[in-house]
Copies of this chain bind each other. A is one copy, B any other.
Amino acid sequence: MSTVRAITAEAAARVDVHLMDPEKGGFKLEQLMELAGLSVAETAFQLVHERATVETGSRSGVVAVLCGPGNNGGDGLVAARHLTHFGLKPVVLVPKRVEREPFVGLMTQLRMLGVPSATLDDMDLILSDAVLVVDAVFGFSFKGQVRAPFDRVIKALKSHEHKTLSVDVPSGWDVEKGSTTADGFSPFALISLTAPKICSRQFKGRHFIGGRFVPLDEFNIDVPMYAGTQQSVEIANDSVV
C-alpha cells in the first residue's frame, strides 16, 4: 500500500504564502477557499448519502456546519453553499462573526441562497438533528488554548463525534501533537486539505484528502490518487507517515 507523507503546520503555511504570492502562485484567497470548500462539500455529500442510505433509507437531511473565525471557517461557509446546490440542507453556526472579507461576502452568498445561520443558543438542537456535522472551527494555524465560546463548541462536537467530519485538523487538536487529552474529541471522518498534517498520524477514522489545486511536485508533497474530476479522495487510515 502506498503511503502519504504528513506535513507540518509550518510547511502548510509556506505553501499558502507561495500560492498567494503575486509573483509565484498568483492565486487569490477566494479562489483557493472556493476549491477547498468544494472538496469538503463533495466529501460531506458522499458521507451523507452513505449514512442516510444505511440509517434511514432517506437521502435528505440537515448538515450542521460549524465555522470558526479563520480560513478553516471560510472553507466551511463555502462548503455549506455547495451543499445547497447538491440538494442538501446545510445550517451554518458561526459563534464569532468576522467583519472582514472574505467572510462578509461568504455570508452574503449564503443569505442569497436562503441558507439559515444559527446562533450558539440553537447549537445543541441543530447538532442533534443533523445527519452530518462539519467541523470547520480551527485549522492548521490553531495554537494554544481553546477560548470561549469555542470551548463550548468543541464540547458539543465531542458529543456528536460519531457523525462529525473535521476539516483539515480536528478542532482543538495540536496540529503536530494531535489530541492532547486521553478522552479528547475524535471525529469519525477527516478531510485533510492538500496534505495530511502531522497530527493525523494518530487519527483512526475515515480519512480523505481534498484541495486539488496545488502543484504538489513543486512542494515535494505526495500526490493523492484522485479519480477523474473528483475533488476529494479517501485514503487508508494507516497510510499517513
Q: Which A positions have Cβ atoms within 8 angstroms of B?
A: 22-28, 30-31, 34-35, 38, 41-42, 45-46, 81-82, 85-86, 102, 104-109, 111-114, 212-213, 215, 218, 226, 228-229, 231
Contact = CB atoms under 8 A, between A and B. Distances in A.
A77 to B, nearest CB: 11
Given A34-B31, A112-B25, A114-B215, A45 B104 contact: no
B112 A215 contact: yes
Contacts of A46: 229
Copies of this protein in the complex? 2
A61 to B, nearest CB: 15
Contacts of A226: 85
A26 B115 CA distance: 14
Contacts of A111: 26
Contact of A229 (B22, B25, B41, B104): B41
A105 B229 contact: no
Contacts of A42: 229
B108 A228 contact: no
A26 B112 contact: yes
